[in-house]
């Protein structure tokens, strides 16, 4: 290792030590360990051994599924999109619920295999036909290829649901983290499709929904709380859309939003719409900064509803299906979920909201690993989702 590599190592270890685990977030040691795992990925990237994304892909590819002889599992393609379908062997009903699952990973990592446990769990607990979508990943397949694959899979499944023993009127779209972003974007894209059955519901699990204001209360309060740190959120987002990381500080200052955009978006994205109880852990209004015309033109893709579904027009929001939103107290994305909940309810869309007071970003995914690194908050969230699905 060179001196530069050693210095990089110390810098990353210092940042790891500087992360925070609030007193009432669940199981501090496990959470810190998960955060340190992501820092190792960053270290390998910085010293040139392996890119952060390829390290995370490699690790997630080693996650073993839990064997379950009760399930029938098959790999297919919906058009050109890889999917894996899960269903109970003992179910003979041809009117079952269908769940399309879009995995997380900021469009760059995550896979069907990594989400085997999640999809098997949902299939087993709800007697649903679960379709996990293996959309193409960036940077090999630039944004918005991920959305296009998810939309293609959704359209195909809605058209052929009965071939898989699914009632076309009982199809639910679901996703966690950036998979929640894809879920919201797909649901929006389908609202005006008169040639397809309507979605029964959408389930958004701690979703990223907007890139207008990254200084909302949840971003400030959870800036250094693992797993998803504030800066890491934007770094991964910029990598997703292949943009220069040199614009990070300007985006945090809000210089990427023009005055006209600010006037439009403030109706939907504002700390004023965050309930007071979510500001008690601390919140300081951000000072205003002048927009940069060059930057505003550069980040157009990040303000498209495909990337920031919270920015969809009212006419689209009003037509969305019944929605389940899960938020976590110790998650920078908490307030995205709160703002989307408000927009949906303002337009008469029925919303079931589950807030995990001890939860953090990724807790549902980790809950499926049992005693090793499982978290009670994640188990509670999974139970609430199962209960919601059983009623759809």
Among 39, 103, 256, 361, the one annotated catalytic:
361
* Of the candidates 50, 52, 16, the residue with the CA atom closest to the CA atom of residue 35: 16
Instruction: Tell me the pLDDT tens digit for each residue of 216-268.
Output: 999 999 999 988 999 999 999 999 999 999 999 999 999 999 999 999 999 99
Asked whether residue 1 carries a pLDDT value surpassing 50, the answer given is: no
Taking the CA atoms of residue 116, residue 32, residue 37 and residue 113 in that order, the dihedral angle to the nearest 10 degrees is: 0
- Residues 6 or more apart whose CB falls under 8 angstroms from that of 285 comprise 271
Torsion angle (degrees, nearest 10) of CA 52, 151, 102, 326? 110
Q: Is 216 helix (H, G, I), strand (E, B) or coil?
A: coil
pTM value is 0.91
CB 274 within 8 A of CB 267: no
Which contacts of 5-14 are long-range, i.e. CB under 8 A and separated by 24 or more positions?
Answer: 5/47, 8/43, 8/46, 8/47, 9/43, 9/47, 12/39, 12/42, 12/43, 12/46, 13/39
Catalytic residue of the set 177, 292, 308, 377: 177
CATH fold for the domain made of 71-209+303-390: Rossmann fold (3.40.50)
Are 22 and 225 a contacting pair, CB within 8 Å?
A: yes
Q: What pLDDT, on a 0 to 100 scale, did the predictor assign at position 14?
A: 40
Confirm whether 361 is a catalytic residue.
Answer: yes
Kindly report, residue by residue over 262-317, the tens digit of the pLDDT.
Answer: 999 999 999 999 999 999 999 999 999 999 999 999 999 999 999 999 999 999 99
DSSP state of 96: E
Please provide the average confidence, as pLDDT, over all residues in the chain.
91
Closest CA to 205 of 23, 369, 348, 340: 340
In angstroms, the CA 363 to CA 354 distance is 13
Report the alpha-carbon distance of residue 361 to residue 369 in Å, rounded.
Answer: 15
* Tokens encoding 133: 């979508």
pLDDT at 17 over 90: no
Q: Is the dihedral of CA 231, 233, 234, 239 positive or negative?
A: positive
Partners of 129 in the beta sheet? Answer: 98
Q: What residues pair up with 82 in beta bridges, in sequence order?
A: 77, 134
Pairwise CA distance, residues 212 & 172, whole Å? 28
Residue 12: which pLDDT band, with cuts at 50, 70 and 90?
Answer: very low
Q: How far is CA 231 from CA 211, 222, 291, 312, 384, in A?
A: 13, 11, 20, 25, 30
Task: Please identify which of the residues 331, 335, 336, 377 carries the catalytic annotation.
Answer: 331
DSSP 286: P
Task: Tell me if residue 312 falls in helix, strand or coil.
Answer: coil
Q: Sheet harboring 96-102: ordered strands across? A: 71-78, 81-88, 129-134, 96-102, 166-176, 201-205, 322-330, 351-360
For 107-116, what is the mean pLDDT? 97
Residue showing tokens 């971003």: 219
| Whether 111 contacts 60, CB under 8 Å | yes
> Which of the 8 DSSP states describes residue 313?
-
The pLDDT value given to residue 38: 61
Judged on CB neighbours under 10 Å (0-12, 13-18, 19+), 166 is: buried
């Amino acid at each position: 290792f060179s001196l530069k590599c050693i210095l990089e190592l110390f810098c990353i270890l210092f940042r790891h030590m500087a992360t925070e685990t609030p007193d009432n977030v669940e199981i501090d040691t496990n959470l810190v360990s998960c955060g340190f795992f992501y820092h190792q990925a960053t270290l390998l990237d910085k010293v040139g051994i392996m890119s952060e994304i390829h390290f995370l892909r490699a690790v997630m590819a080693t996650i073993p599924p839990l064997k379950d002889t009760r399930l029938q599992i098959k790999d297919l393609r919906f058009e050109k999109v890889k999917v894996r379908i899960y269903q109970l062997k003992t179910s003979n009903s041809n009117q079952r619920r269908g769940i399309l699952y879009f995995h997380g990973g900021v469009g760059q990592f995550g896979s069907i295999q990594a989400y085997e446990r999640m999809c098997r769990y949902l299939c087993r607990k709800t007697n649903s036909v679960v379709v996990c979508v293996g959309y193409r990943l960036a940077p090999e397949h630039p944004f918005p290829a991920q959305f296009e694959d998810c939309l293609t899979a959704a359209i195909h499944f809605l058209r052929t649901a009965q071939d898989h023993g699914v009632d076309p009127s009982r199809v639910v779209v679901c996703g966690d983290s950036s998979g929640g972003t894809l879920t919201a974007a797909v649901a929006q894209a389908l609202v005006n499709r008169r040639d397809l059955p309507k979605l029964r519901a959408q389930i958004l699990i701690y979703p990223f929904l907007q890139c207008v204001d990254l200084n909302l209360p949840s971003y400030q309060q959870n800036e250094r709380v693992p797993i998803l740190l504030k800066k890491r959120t934007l770094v991964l987002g910029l990598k997703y859309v292949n943009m220069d990381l040199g614009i990070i500080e300007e985006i945090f200052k809000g210089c990427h939003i023009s005055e006209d955009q600010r006037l439009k978006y403030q109706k939907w994205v504002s700390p004023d719409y965050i309930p007071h109880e979510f500001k008690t852990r601390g919140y300081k209004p951000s000072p205003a900064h002048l927009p940069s015309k060059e930057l505003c033109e550069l980040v157009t893709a990040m303000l498209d509803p495909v990337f920031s579904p919270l920015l969809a027009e009212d006419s689209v929001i009003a037509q969305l299906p019944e929605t389940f939103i899960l938020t976590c107290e110790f998650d920078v994305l908490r307030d995205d979920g709160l703002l989307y909940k408000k927009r949906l309810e303002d337009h008469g869309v029925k919303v079931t909201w589950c807030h995990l007071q001890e939860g953090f970003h990724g807790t549902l995914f980790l809950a499926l690993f049992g005693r090793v690194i499982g978290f009670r908050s994640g188990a509670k969230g999974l139970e609430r989702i199962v209960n919601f699905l059983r009623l759809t």
